[in-house]
Chains A and B, each alone.
Chain A
Amino acid sequence: MKKKLISVCLAALLACAALAGCASETESDAQEQAAAEEQAEEAPAEEEAAPEEETAAEETAAEETAAEETAAEETAPAETAAAGLNMIGEDKMAQMPAEGTDFSNFKIGEMESYYINDGGWCQANHESIVAAMKELGIPEENLILLENVDDYNQAASQTAAEELVNEGCNLILACSTGYASFLPEIAAAHPEVMFAQWGNKVDNMIGYEIRSYEGMFLAGYASELLSQETNPELGFSASANEFSVRTAINAYALGAKYANPEATVRVASADTWYDIDKETQCAQSLIDAGIKYMGMEASSPAIPETCEKNGAFVVGYHNDMSALAPNAVFVSHMWNFAPIFKNIMINAAEGTATANDFYYWGGDCSKLSDFAAFVPEEVVTQVNDLKAKIESGEVKVFGGEIKDNEGNVLVAEGEVMPDEDIIFQNFFVEGVSTSWKAAE
């Protein structure tokens, strides 16, 4: 009995020690960071000399971002640009097929990493393809769709791509960045088939991306217009710390600041791509902190749902989410690939497409849904005016002066951030409060 008691006490002590260790590490971490910040102001170059006692979590995070960076570097458009990237300008958005182009035998293959009614990414992709085909009068049966082609399962994905080639597809649209690691090989083996790949430009394939920050900028602007009188602080429910998510947060914050220089954005992050519990709690914790309007970059409908329950408002993401939470979603940021797909289809059918083509389009591609009926008319007008200014080039979303949230100047007055820096964002702009660290 005595022995048992002693061992229980020992275990309890151990557990307490572990907890205390963790707590003090967290504290020292905060102190270290504060110290690092001070140092950074004086000598930013010395920042990399990190203290030894970094927490394991931070180390893994650093490793992850490092891995991410290498992956990004391998396929960065900047590098391939040197290899003769053929940028297709937004002026081609209005291009129509030449007289006599016959689409009746033009077959399109579609690879989706998940199901086309996922209420998110794949749905947006699929709807865009269908819309583009409709506009060009391509018969529906010319589309061969392969769903749930898991991009983590390379063997299955390769088979899927081969299958589409065998079916006689003229154009294969690979709608997830995960296929980039092996599709170039298949594309090289079948030069008669055009392949297009979402995300960073890779060899032998057309690349396409969307300037989604334009829509997020407008969304942030609209949120702040609606929120500024009650609370200039906005929220943002984010998924994982990745450059596309950082871009969304920054664009949202810049839009808010365009409406009101005093605006700030508080980020709650689930640190995962999909987790209903955590996403719910992200939205809930922002609401508990008194936030009324928030943006989101997450996959499940949990955030709009939570806002609806609590009388808060949110910008839907991926698709028009108003049907899910009609009183909370006041507008949605939508992916609209239709103009890009339409252009790719025209060029592929007419034989003018090359594997070096790259699309980086904004405007209608990065659009907002219709505003909910409860949004005041003047806010809608203001947002539309700003949209016109972005399209005319009068307002640059990433035009200077932009500071990061530690006070460093990122873009000087009068300058504009280069595209590759916009795509691979590694900072948080002024006014964003987050526990994420921009990767070093």
Chain B
Amino acid sequence: MSTALLISIISTAVVYAATVLYAAVGEIFSQRAGVMNLGLEGIMLMGAVSGYMVAVYQQNLFLAMCVVILVGAALGLVFSFLTVTMQADQTVCGMAMLTFGTGLSGFLGKSVAGVNADLAFEPIPIPVLSRIPVLGPSLFSQNILVYLIYLIIPLSMIYIYKTRAGMILRALGENPAALDSAGYNVYALRYAYVIFGSIMTAVGGAVVSLAYTNFWSDGMTSGKGWIAVALVVFSAWNPLTATFGAMLFGAISIIGIDVQTLFPSVPSQVFAALPYIATIIVLIFTTGNFGGRRSSAPAALTIPYDREKR
């Protein structure tokens, strides 16, 4: 395996991981707060299309990201209103978000489909670090959104496991009634985390249309939102584990194509099956019941909080 090939695989895996991780980290926060949002794919598409539209019409990436954040927040607000205030079924609302986002993004994106924005997050090599062989060009010659996720992962780990706010977040998903009696506003907290999760997801979509590729096409995230949902469960609601999962999945799903051209005698379907074999193995390790370990799912996940019910 040549160095160029290795660099190409790692660097594509990193970018792939970044697109999925924004959504996955957002969903980890949302689910840790007790709200499961299955509409990630729809929100990602909305983020992707809104960012790309602003990039095409305004030629301004900063503005594009601001709009993406607003769109994410708006969708998160709608979702939390439905699931937290109205206490609607989270699975059904998630599906509604999915269809709504997919449909609306296709409708809005009609005018920019096939239009070249000529504007994208270009890779910025980090001085010194980018000169490390193999790792330099693959990890430290990326765009700013990828660097941002390098920061978000450790920060979210510290937040969830080492801060008081993180402890409250975990309690929110485990036993909201206890938090309520301790004087915290369960509804407000859930609103905040769901909106945060939705913003992260929308940004993940924008990574697809503005950094990873540079165009808009209907349904372009092609299932990344679902992979993010799966990663949350894989990782046992832990951002660091999710990172490894995303990297692994990214590397394995693209490695097949590189290996194809190296070994044309092996049917390409063999390589196409690799990600699923990896998925099963990862599933065994993360969710398997080894020696009576209990599932790490937040106890109050998908259960709407109702003060009247005690």
Chain A contact residues, CB within 8 Å of chain B:
1, 3-4, 7-8, 11, 14-15, 18-19, 22, 25-26, 29-30, 33-34, 55-58, 60-61, 114-115, 117-119, 123, 266-271, 274-278, 280-282, 284-286, 288-289, 300-302, 305, 319, 323-326, 433-437
Contacts and interface: CB of A to CB of B under 8 A. Distances in A.
Main secondary structure of the interface of A (DSSP, over half): helix
B215 A305 contact: yes
B8 A285 contact: yes
B110 A29 contact: no
Given A115-B113, A282-B257, A288-B258, A30 B8 contact: no
B115 to A, nearest CB: 8
The 8 closest A-B pairs by CB, nearest first: A4-B291, A119-B114, A57-B269, A435-B268, A281-B254, A285-B258, A281-B257, A30-B265
A11 B222 contact: no
A33 B277 CA distance: 23
B254 A278 contact: yes
A275 B227 CA distance: 14
Contacts of A278: 253-254, 257
Interface residues of B, number: 47
B273 A57 contact: yes
B261 A286 contact: yes
B260 A268 contact: yes
Contact of A276 (B113, B213, B263, B285): B213
A234 B284 CA distance: 43
B113 A268 contact: no
Given A29-B265, A29-B266, 20 more contacts: A11-B288, A15-B284, A22-B270, A25-B270, A57-B269, A61-B269, A118-B113, A266-B264, A268-B261, A270-B257, A271-B269, A277-B12, A278-B254, A286-B261, A288-B258, A300-B217, A300-B220, A302-B213, A435-B266, A435-B268
A11 B273 contact: no
B204 interface: no
A30 B115 CA distance: 44
Given A11-B285, A276-B222, A324-B215, A436 B268 contact: yes
A8 B290 contact: yes
A126 B214 CA distance: 25
Nearest to B16: A277
A325 B215 CA distance: 10
Contacts of B215: 300-302, 305, 324
Nearest to A2: B291
B114 A301 contact: yes
A282 B260 CA distance: 9
B280 to A, nearest CB: 8
Given A275-B222, A302-B213, A435-B268, A285 B114 contact: no
